[in-house]
Structure 1
Amino acid sequence: MSTIGANLLMNNVVKYYKSFKAVDEVSFGVEKGEFLTILGPSGSGKTSLLKLIAGFEKINSGEILLNKENIEKKRPYERNIGMLFQNYALFPHMNIFQNIAYPLKIRKFSKDKIKEKVINMLKLVDLEGVENRYPKQLSGGQQQRVALARAIVFNPPLLLLDEPLGALDKQLRQKMQLEIKHIQQRIGITTISVTHDQEEALTMSDKVCIMNKGRIEQIDTPENIYEKPKSIFVAEFIGEINIIKGKIVQTEGKIAFIEIFNKRILKAEMDAEDQYLRGKAVSIALRPENINITLDKAQYENSMKAIVKEVIFVGDSLKVKAVNENNEEMMMKAAPSDKNLLTPGKEIILNWEITKSSLIGN
C-alpha cells in the first residue's frame, strides 16, 4: 500500500459563531493513512470542525497542524486538501476526463502527466471507458466515484468527506461504503469524514469521533465505541442499548458488584480505566443482542425477571420490548422462531454474561 497522507493534529481548537461556541476546545490527532469519522447529532459541531480543517471557516483559538505545519492562516486552496461533497459538485459541461483532470490543470501539470494520472484514477475507481461521457449520463454511484477520483488525483495530504453518501439510496450507499474504504486503504490517504449515518461510520472507519455540544465525547475504534461506550450519551447515541443504574458495592479483581433496584446484585467487568468508579454510582450499558431470554431459569450470573410488552418482527430477528421488575422498559433481540413463545404478558428471564456489558460513570 502506498501512503500519500499526512498527520493531522488539532490542539484546543475553538470556534464561535457570535456568542455561540460551536467547537469547544477540541483536540485530537489523525495518524498518517488513518480513516477517522466524526459523528454526532445536528448542532454537535462536526460540520464546523470539517470547515475549520478545510479553511472555509477561521478558528478563534487553538492550532491546526498538517504534517507538523500550522495551516490555520492558509486559504483553502493553499492547504491542498482534497474534498468530496454530498452533491459531488461535478462540472456538467465537462466530460469525465475533464472533470477528473481539472485539479491537475489548475496546478499546471503537463498534458502527458494529466493523461497518465487521469487514466490511473479511472482504473482505480473502476470507470475505464466512460471518460468521454458527461456526468448526467452516469448513475449516482458512478458520479460519486468520479468525484472521489477528482478529489484524490493530485495526491492531497488529506481527504475530507462531507456526508459523501447522503444522496444515495440505502443499497447503493452500503456498496459505496466498502468501495470508498477499499480505495482509501489501497492508496493510504489520511481521511476525515463527517456523517450522521452510524452504520457508515462503524463500517468505514479506523477510528470514530463522537461529538456533542461542540465537545468530543469519545474517540475510539468502531468496536470500542459500540461495545465500550465511555458516557451515557455515546451509549445511547450509537444503536439501541439498555441502561441500568446502580452503585458499585464491592470489587474482586476486575469484577465489580453493582447493587441495582430491590437490592439485586449484578456483576460487570471493569477495564483498567474503570478503577476510578469503585464505590461510585454507575450505569450498566447492555446491548439488546447480548441479552439471552429464557422462560424458566437463568443461564448466566446476571439475571432479572421481566414481562413481555411487545414483539416486533424486523426480518432477521425479533425486537422484544419488556418491562423489568423495576417497571423499566428493556429491549432485547430474539430469533424469529421464538415468536410464539414470546407473547405479550409472558414472564421471561433476562440474563447475560458478565463480559457482555460495560460500566459507565454517572
Structure 2
Amino acid sequence: MNKLVHIILLTFVSTAWCADPKVTIKYTFPKTVVRNNYKTVVVEKDRDCLLACIVDNKRAEKKVQWLVQNFRTNTPIPISTDTDTQNAFKYQIDKPAANNWRLKIQNAQESDQALYICRVQLGGQQNANDSRMIQVIQTPQIIDYKTSSNTIKKETDPLDLRCDASGIPKPVISWTMVGGGVLPTGGRELTAPSITIDNVNRNMKGAYKCKAENIAGADIRIIYLNVQFQPQVRAKEDVVRQAVGFSSELTCLAAGNPIPEESQMYWSRDGVALDNRNKFVEEYYVGSNYVLMKLIVKDITESDYGQYRCYAENIEGNENAFVELQQSASEVVQRPGLSGASMLTFSITTIAMLVVTALLHCC
C-alpha cells in the first residue's frame, strides 16, 4: 500500500513538474476592452498604464519577459527580463505576488501604441504568452494659431475658414451653421479642415461652428463671419398720390452692413436737402440689418409734387432710390405701418373684447 502511494505521489510531482507554464494577463488598468477583435487597454495620453501578468507552473530557471511589438516593425523587442527593465524611465516591473510580473508603462505617449506581450520561453521556438494592445487617446483641442478667428469680409472677397486640432487619434473636423442653416458649400454639414469660398456675399454672414471629434471626445469653436456691403436702397412705393391740403408719407428701406447711421441718410428733392422742418419731417427706424427711412410731407401744396430722393451710405459705398409724389383728386388714406408696441396693444385689446363678449353671453 505504501509503495502504491509513493508511486502516485511521484506521478503527481512528475506531472506538475512537466506541465507547461500558464501565462495570463489578468488585471489591467485601465480595464481591458475589445477593439477591432483585439483585447485592448485604452489609456489617456500622459497617464500611466498597468498590465499584471500571472504565470503559473513556471520552473525556477525559466524567466518571464515583457516584449513590445511595434506596428511598423512587427518584431517583438524585449523590454524586461524578470524585474529588470531596459528603459527604467518608460517601464517599471514589480512583483506584488510571487507569480505576478506587473508592467507599468509610464507617461503614455502616441509612440507607446503597440502590442505588449508577456512571455515564458518553453524551449526552442515555443513559448507561452498572453498580450494586450495599448491604445493611447487624447481629447481633441482646437489649435488657436491654426484656426480662423472672427472674420470681416467685403462682398466678392475670397474666404478661407480653417480649423485644426490636436488629439489622438487625429480628430475629424466638421462644419455646421449655428442654428442649423445651409452652409455656403451646400448642405448642412461639411467634413473638411476648411471652408473655401471664392466670392463672399451678404447671405453668408453668420456663425460657423467647427467641431473636432475623435473617440476621446470633442472640442468646438464658433467663428463669426461678418460680411460688409454697401447699402441697398429700395422705395416702398415708386409712386405715392395725395390731394392738396393733406399730408403723405414716403418710405424707403436701406439695407447695408454696417447699418447706415442717421448722419449718413437723408431725403432731398432736385438735389436740395429738405430743411423746412415745418413742411418735411424725416424719421428713421433701425432694424436688425436695415433702416426704415420715412419722409412726411405736411399740408401738401401744388409746389410739393415731384420726385423725391432717399439716400444712404456707409464705408462700403452709397445708393439711392426715388419716390414720385403725384396729385390725386381726393384724399388718399395711407395705411400706417404697425410698430411692435401698437401690434401688441391691438392684440391685447382684441383679446379683452372677446373675453368680455363671451362673459356677457354666458350671463
Q: Per residue, is there more strand in 1 or in 2?
A: 2
**Larger of the two Rg values belongs to structure:** 2
TM-score, normalising length from structure 1?
A: 0.24
Q: Per residue, is there more helix in 1 or in 2?
A: 1
Larger RCO (alpha carbons 8 Å, 6+ apart): 1
